[in-house]
Every structure is written in C-alpha cells, then in structure tokens.
Amino acid sequence: MQEMNHWRMDRPEEDEAEGGELTHAENMAGLPVRTYLPESLVPGYPYPLLVMFHGRGGNEEQVLRYVPRISSQNFVYLSLRGPEPLGRRPDGKRGFGWAHRNAGLLSEYVELAVALVRQTVQIHSERVYLVGVNEGADAAYRAGFALAGKVAGVIALNGTMPQPTLGKPVFRFDDARKLRVFMGHGVSNPEAIRRQTDKDYKVLYGCGADVQYQTYPTDQDLHAEMFRDVNRWIVGNVNAEHDMYAVRD
C-alpha cells in the first residue's frame, strides 16, 4: 500500500454526521479515510481514537452517523472503507463489504490511516479502539489481533469473531491478552449468531482477555444503549488508567 498523497478538508453532506469537522483522504491504495473531530477540539489534549468499520453494504460515510450517539466530544473518529464493492445502497451511495481483506493488509490500512490523523490532531497512542458494526466486527477483530499491543481494544456491535481458515488460528493467546474487548449484541439476533457470540466471549475470556459482554433488546439493529455503553466503557478505561498512574505516583 502507498501512503496517500491527497488530504482534503470539507464539511459533511446533509445526511452525514453533524457537528464536528470532517476530513476526507482521497487516496490510500483506492481506499479512502474519513475522520470526525470533536465539536470543541481542545488543543494539546491527547484524544482517544475510535477506528470505525462499517457493516456489510455500508461505507465510510454511513458509519459516521453513529458518532453523535456515542459522543461528539470525547473522541476523534476515523472511518475506513471495506475493499469489496457491493453496488448501490438504497440511498444511491455505494456500499462495500470486508471480504477478501486479510489481517496483514487490514492492519496496514489502519496504521497508515492512524498515522495520517495524527498529523492533524493529537491522539493518545495507548487509546486507539477498533469499532466494528455487524460484518465490520470481523474486520475489527482481525486488525485488532494483528495489532495487539498497538491498539487498546476492540468493540464488536452485533458482529462475531472471524472463523479459522485452512486450519490456521484466528489469534494467539498472547495477542488476545493484550486487548480489551467490548461485545454488544441484540438478544433477538438469529440463533446461530447468538451461539457464536456466546462462544466468542468464552474463548476470549478463557484466553485471559479483558472482555465485557452486554446484550440489548434488539435484533441486528443497533440499540441506543449500545452506544451509551461504548462511551461509558472507554471513558471508564481512561479513568482507570488515571487512577493507576495516580497510585504509582
């Protein structure tokens, strides 16, 4: 992958997230990057960064609509595009998926995009979280395991971990132990998905990952309480870090 050579500042379209400043990187090996900055950016403050992976048929713009429901002020957001073209969405915009994207290329995409954002705004190097929605959870897990030790954690909303292929494990135990994981799932999801998410939790917990599993009264749609819990969970992690360093001091 080549580093992008184009960086454009613009405003969101009417149907995109409102409030913060939106930037658009035009060309990263054909995969764009969009970022959403807090409404009131505090100079010099090292923000947590949420890297967003859209669901199947979504795109890097659509997933940013969730920003105001999580927090328009607490985080910087970075949104990526899946490499699999799926045609036009009902709103006329193009949709994409995450098939055929291996962990190495995904992690490279994330690292280059994060490096680009850090040229514009201060990001806390130990507070980068990967947020996957539906199929995007698979991609977030893959990138998270590949970048274990470089990202703080993975947030999976109504999505499952990738399955082993060709007998190769999805992750190493040591990598899982380096991640915090938040899993949010609707209780009315199809039974096969519920069984898989239960299994995902047991596997991660058994490996020693710091994992929290929450269920919500919804199906494959995202519930408002999911977003509130994501905000609380990350802020709780940040506060816990502050307390830990205060004790050390």
What was the pLDDT predicted at 167? Answer: 60
- For 212-231, the pLDDT digits (tens) are 999 998 888 888 899 999 99
Give residue 28's pLDDT: 53
pLDDT of residue 21: 43
Inside any domain, residue 3: no
pLDDT value at residue 156: 95
Residue numbers in the chain where pLDDT is lower than 50: 1-27, 244-249
Q: Give pLDDT, residue 220.
A: 81
**Residue 18 sits in a domain of what CATH number?**
3.40.50.1820
Does residue 190 form part of some domain? yes
pLDDT number for residue 4: 28
User: Which residues form the domain of 140?
Assistant: 8-164+171-248
DSSP the chain: -PPP---EEEPPPTTS--SS-EEEE--STT--EEEE--TT--TT--EEEEEEEPPTTB-TTGGGGGHHHH-SSS-EEEEE--SEEEEE-TTSSEEEE-TT--HHHHHHHHHHHHHHHTTTS-EEEEEEEEEEETHHHHHHHHHHHHTBTTB-EEEEES--PPPPBTTB-S--HHHHHT-EEEEEEETTS-HHHHHHHHHHHHHHHHHT-EEEEEEES-SSSPPHHHHHHHHHHHHHHHHHHHHHHHHH-
Query: For position 48, what pLDDT does the model report?
Result: 95
Query: In this predicted structure, what is the pLDDT of residue 227?
Result: 93
Residue 129 included in any domain:
yes
Tally the domains of the chain.
1
The pTM of this model reads 0.84
Query: Would 2 be classed as within a structural domain?
Result: no
